[in-house]
Amino acid sequence: MHKQALIQYLLLLGDSALVQGQRLCEWCGKAPALEEELALMNVGLDLVGQARNWLDYAAELLDDGRDADALAFRRDERAYRNLLLVEQPNGDYAVTMLKQFLYDAWHHATLEALGASRDERIAGIAAKALKEVTYHLRRSGEWVQRLGGGTDESRRRMLEAIPTLWRFTVELSVANDGEVQLANAGVGADPARIAQHWLNTVTAIFASVDLPLPKAASHFYLDGRKGLHSEHLGLLLAEMQCLPRAYPDATW
Protein backbone atom coordinates (compact mmCIF):
# COMPACT_ATOMS: atom_id res chain seq x y z
CA MET A 1 0.00 0.00 0.00
CA HIS A 2 2.83 2.37 0.86
CA LYS A 3 4.39 1.97 -2.60
CA GLN A 4 1.09 2.50 -4.41
CA ALA A 5 0.29 5.55 -2.28
CA LEU A 6 3.74 6.96 -3.05
CA ILE A 7 3.30 6.45 -6.79
CA GLN A 8 -0.05 8.25 -6.72
CA TYR A 9 1.48 11.08 -4.68
CA LEU A 10 4.35 11.49 -7.15
CA LEU A 11 1.85 11.58 -10.01
CA LEU A 12 -0.15 14.26 -8.18
CA LEU A 13 2.95 16.43 -7.89
CA GLY A 14 4.28 15.70 -11.36
CA ASP A 15 1.01 15.89 -13.26
CA SER A 16 -0.04 19.13 -11.55
CA ALA A 17 3.26 20.81 -12.42
CA LEU A 18 3.15 19.50 -16.00
CA VAL A 19 -0.43 20.60 -16.69
CA GLN A 20 0.10 24.03 -15.14
CA GLY A 21 3.28 24.42 -17.19
CA GLN A 22 1.37 23.50 -20.35
CA ARG A 23 -1.33 26.05 -19.57
CA LEU A 24 1.25 28.81 -19.14
CA CYS A 25 2.87 27.90 -22.46
CA GLU A 26 -0.46 28.59 -24.14
CA TRP A 27 0.27 32.28 -23.54
CA CYS A 28 3.25 32.13 -25.91
CA GLY A 29 2.70 34.88 -28.48
CA LYS A 30 -0.43 36.08 -26.67
CA ALA A 31 0.78 37.65 -23.41
CA PRO A 32 -0.09 41.32 -22.75
CA ALA A 33 3.57 42.39 -22.77
CA LEU A 34 6.88 40.92 -23.94
CA GLU A 35 8.29 40.88 -20.41
CA GLU A 36 5.25 38.95 -19.20
CA GLU A 37 5.54 36.44 -22.00
CA LEU A 38 9.15 35.73 -21.05
CA ALA A 39 8.24 35.44 -17.38
CA LEU A 40 5.35 33.07 -18.08
CA MET A 41 7.49 30.85 -20.29
CA ASN A 42 10.22 30.71 -17.64
CA VAL A 43 7.75 29.70 -14.95
CA GLY A 44 6.25 27.13 -17.30
CA LEU A 45 9.68 25.65 -18.07
CA ASP A 46 10.46 25.49 -14.35
CA LEU A 47 7.29 23.49 -13.78
CA VAL A 48 7.96 21.12 -16.68
CA GLY A 49 11.43 20.46 -15.29
CA GLN A 50 9.99 19.74 -11.87
CA ALA A 51 7.38 17.46 -13.42
CA ARG A 52 10.13 15.40 -15.06
CA ASN A 53 11.83 14.84 -11.71
CA TRP A 54 8.62 13.60 -10.07
CA LEU A 55 7.63 11.47 -13.06
CA ASP A 56 11.10 9.95 -13.32
CA TYR A 57 10.73 8.73 -9.75
CA ALA A 58 7.19 7.48 -10.35
CA ALA A 59 8.35 5.58 -13.45
CA GLU A 60 11.10 3.87 -11.48
CA LEU A 61 8.62 2.71 -8.86
CA LEU A 62 6.10 1.56 -11.46
CA ASP A 63 8.88 -0.43 -13.16
CA ASP A 64 6.68 -1.36 -16.11
CA GLY A 65 8.91 -0.17 -18.93
CA ARG A 66 7.59 3.39 -19.07
CA ASP A 67 9.75 6.44 -18.47
CA ALA A 68 8.81 10.03 -17.63
CA ASP A 69 8.10 10.85 -21.28
CA ALA A 70 5.74 7.89 -21.61
CA LEU A 71 3.89 8.92 -18.45
CA ALA A 72 3.55 12.46 -19.74
CA PHE A 73 2.54 11.73 -23.33
CA ARG A 74 0.98 8.27 -23.45
CA ARG A 75 -1.57 8.31 -20.66
CA ASP A 76 -5.22 9.19 -21.14
CA GLU A 77 -6.89 11.79 -18.97
CA ARG A 78 -8.32 9.24 -16.52
CA ALA A 79 -4.78 8.18 -15.65
CA TYR A 80 -3.73 11.74 -14.76
CA ARG A 81 -3.71 12.73 -11.09
CA ASN A 82 -3.31 16.51 -11.35
CA LEU A 83 -5.29 19.04 -9.35
CA LEU A 84 -8.49 20.20 -11.03
CA LEU A 85 -7.41 23.80 -10.53
CA VAL A 86 -4.46 23.69 -12.93
CA GLU A 87 -6.37 22.21 -15.86
CA GLN A 88 -8.85 25.08 -15.98
CA PRO A 89 -8.58 27.41 -19.02
CA ASN A 90 -6.37 30.47 -18.82
CA GLY A 91 -9.21 32.98 -19.25
CA ASP A 92 -8.05 36.58 -19.08
CA TYR A 93 -4.87 37.64 -17.28
CA ALA A 94 -6.65 37.97 -13.94
CA VAL A 95 -7.82 34.36 -14.13
CA THR A 96 -4.36 33.18 -15.19
CA MET A 97 -2.53 34.95 -12.39
CA LEU A 98 -5.07 34.10 -9.70
CA LYS A 99 -4.91 30.44 -10.74
CA GLN A 100 -1.13 30.57 -10.64
CA PHE A 101 -1.20 32.18 -7.20
CA LEU A 102 -3.65 29.68 -5.70
CA TYR A 103 -1.53 26.83 -7.05
CA ASP A 104 1.76 28.46 -6.02
CA ALA A 105 0.57 28.94 -2.44
CA TRP A 106 -0.23 25.22 -2.18
CA HIS A 107 2.86 24.19 -4.11
CA HIS A 108 5.23 26.28 -1.99
CA ALA A 109 3.83 24.96 1.29
CA THR A 110 3.98 21.39 -0.01
CA LEU A 111 7.57 21.62 -1.23
CA GLU A 112 8.68 23.32 1.96
CA ALA A 113 7.29 20.41 3.98
CA LEU A 114 8.66 17.77 1.61
CA GLY A 115 12.15 19.15 2.08
CA ALA A 116 12.12 17.29 5.41
CA SER A 117 10.81 14.02 3.94
CA ARG A 118 12.35 10.77 5.13
CA ASP A 119 12.55 9.81 1.48
CA GLU A 120 15.84 11.35 0.38
CA ARG A 121 14.80 11.39 -3.28
CA ILE A 122 11.66 13.39 -2.47
CA ALA A 123 13.55 15.74 -0.14
CA GLY A 124 16.14 16.46 -2.82
CA ILE A 125 13.61 17.15 -5.58
CA ALA A 126 11.56 19.36 -3.25
CA ALA A 127 14.55 21.39 -2.08
CA LYS A 128 15.60 22.14 -5.65
CA ALA A 129 12.06 23.01 -6.78
CA LEU A 130 11.40 25.21 -3.75
CA LYS A 131 13.97 27.75 -4.93
CA GLU A 132 12.03 28.22 -8.15
CA VAL A 133 8.56 28.13 -6.59
CA THR A 134 9.52 30.76 -4.01
CA TYR A 135 9.92 33.14 -6.93
CA HIS A 136 6.73 31.87 -8.59
CA LEU A 137 4.72 32.59 -5.44
CA ARG A 138 6.16 36.06 -4.96
CA ARG A 139 5.44 36.96 -8.57
CA SER A 140 1.89 35.64 -8.72
CA GLY A 141 1.04 37.15 -5.33
CA GLU A 142 2.24 40.54 -6.50
CA TRP A 143 0.09 40.24 -9.63
CA VAL A 144 -3.01 39.47 -7.55
CA GLN A 145 -2.28 42.58 -5.50
CA ARG A 146 -1.56 44.67 -8.61
CA LEU A 147 -4.77 43.66 -10.36
CA GLY A 148 -6.96 43.54 -7.25
CA GLY A 149 -5.76 46.92 -6.02
CA GLY A 150 -5.27 48.61 -9.39
CA THR A 151 -7.76 50.25 -11.70
CA ASP A 152 -11.52 49.75 -11.55
CA GLU A 153 -11.24 47.46 -14.58
CA SER A 154 -8.42 45.31 -13.21
CA ARG A 155 -10.21 44.96 -9.88
CA ARG A 156 -13.45 44.00 -11.61
CA ARG A 157 -11.66 41.26 -13.49
CA MET A 158 -10.01 39.93 -10.36
CA LEU A 159 -13.32 39.94 -8.51
CA GLU A 160 -14.81 37.90 -11.35
CA ALA A 161 -11.85 35.50 -11.38
CA ILE A 162 -12.26 34.54 -7.70
CA PRO A 163 -15.61 32.71 -7.96
CA THR A 164 -14.57 31.25 -11.31
CA LEU A 165 -11.70 29.37 -9.67
CA TRP A 166 -12.54 29.07 -5.99
CA ARG A 167 -14.66 25.90 -6.22
CA PHE A 168 -11.61 24.00 -7.50
CA THR A 169 -9.60 24.85 -4.38
CA VAL A 170 -11.42 22.16 -2.41
CA GLU A 171 -8.64 19.74 -3.41
CA LEU A 172 -6.04 21.96 -1.76
CA SER A 173 -7.52 21.29 1.67
CA VAL A 174 -8.85 17.73 1.36
CA ALA A 175 -6.51 14.72 1.37
CA ASN A 176 -7.08 11.06 0.60
CA ASP A 177 -6.10 8.10 2.75
CA GLY A 178 -2.86 7.53 0.87
CA GLU A 179 -1.63 11.07 1.49
CA VAL A 180 -2.45 10.78 5.18
CA GLN A 181 -0.58 7.46 5.31
CA LEU A 182 2.50 9.00 3.68
CA ALA A 183 2.38 11.98 6.04
CA ASN A 184 2.18 9.68 9.07
CA ALA A 185 5.20 7.79 7.75
CA GLY A 186 7.17 11.03 7.42
CA VAL A 187 7.37 10.67 3.64
CA GLY A 188 4.65 13.04 2.46
CA ALA A 189 3.53 16.47 3.61
CA ASP A 190 0.94 16.81 6.38
CA PRO A 191 -2.26 17.73 4.46
CA ALA A 192 -3.78 19.62 7.37
CA ARG A 193 -0.70 21.80 7.80
CA ILE A 194 -0.46 22.42 4.06
CA ALA A 195 -4.11 23.47 3.95
CA GLN A 196 -3.59 25.92 6.82
CA HIS A 197 -0.44 27.40 5.31
CA TRP A 198 -2.24 27.76 1.99
CA LEU A 199 -5.19 29.53 3.59
CA ASN A 200 -2.91 31.86 5.59
CA THR A 201 -1.02 32.87 2.44
CA VAL A 202 -4.16 33.45 0.40
CA THR A 203 -5.85 35.35 3.22
CA ALA A 204 -2.88 37.70 3.64
CA ILE A 205 -2.66 38.57 -0.07
CA PHE A 206 -6.41 39.05 -0.42
CA ALA A 207 -6.59 41.22 2.71
CA SER A 208 -3.74 43.44 1.48
CA VAL A 209 -5.94 44.76 -1.34
CA ASP A 210 -9.32 44.19 0.30
CA LEU A 211 -10.37 41.26 -1.89
CA PRO A 212 -13.20 39.18 -0.42
CA LEU A 213 -12.19 35.73 0.80
CA PRO A 214 -14.92 33.21 -0.10
CA LYS A 215 -16.06 30.54 2.31
CA ALA A 216 -14.14 27.28 2.20
CA ALA A 217 -14.99 25.34 -0.93
CA SER A 218 -17.39 22.45 -0.31
CA HIS A 219 -17.18 18.93 -1.68
CA PHE A 220 -16.85 18.83 -5.47
CA TYR A 221 -18.19 16.00 -7.61
CA LEU A 222 -14.93 15.72 -9.58
CA ASP A 223 -11.64 14.55 -8.08
CA GLY A 224 -8.37 14.89 -9.97
CA ARG A 225 -6.60 12.50 -7.60
CA LYS A 226 -8.96 9.75 -8.77
CA GLY A 227 -8.72 10.68 -12.44
CA LEU A 228 -12.13 12.37 -12.48
CA HIS A 229 -11.36 15.55 -14.39
CA SER A 230 -13.21 18.42 -15.97
CA GLU A 231 -13.82 18.48 -19.71
CA HIS A 232 -10.83 20.77 -20.18
CA LEU A 233 -8.07 18.25 -19.47
CA GLY A 234 -8.84 16.03 -22.44
CA LEU A 235 -8.55 18.96 -24.85
CA LEU A 236 -5.29 20.09 -23.23
CA LEU A 237 -3.79 16.59 -23.49
CA ALA A 238 -4.90 16.22 -27.11
CA GLU A 239 -2.80 19.24 -28.03
CA MET A 240 0.11 18.40 -25.71
CA GLN A 241 0.34 14.75 -26.76
CA CYS A 242 -0.45 14.93 -30.48
CA LEU A 243 3.15 14.86 -31.76
CA PRO A 244 4.57 12.07 -29.53
CA ARG A 245 1.45 9.96 -30.12
CA ALA A 246 1.64 10.44 -33.91
CA TYR A 247 5.39 9.67 -33.97
CA PRO A 248 5.99 7.55 -30.86
CA ASP A 249 9.47 6.41 -31.89
CA ALA A 250 10.75 9.77 -33.08
CA THR A 251 14.03 11.08 -31.67
CA TRP A 252 15.41 14.59 -31.65
Q: What is the pLDDT of residue 127?
A: 97
Do residues 210 and 149 make contact, with C-beta atoms less than 8 angstroms apart? yes
DSSP 144: H
- What is the arithmetic mean of pLDDT over 68-90? 96
pLDDT digits (tens, 9 = 90+) for 153-193: 999 999 999 999 999 999 998 888 999 999 999 999 999 99
Domain 2-246: what homologous superfamily?
A: Ferritin, core subunit, four-helix bundle (1.20.1260.10)
**Residue 64: what residue type?**
D
Q: What is the pLDDT of residue 110?
A: 98
pLDDT digits (tens, 9 = 90+) for 195-247: 999 999 999 999 999 999 999 877 778 999 999 999 999 999 999 999 888 88
Q: What is the pLDDT of residue 55?
A: 98
The three-class DSSP label of residue 211 is coil
Three-state SS annotation for 98-122: HHHHHHHHHHHHHHHHHCCCCCHHH
Do residues 206 and 166 make contact, with C-beta atoms less than 8 angstroms apart? no
Domain extents in the chain: 2-246
117 vs 189: CA distance, rounded Å: 8
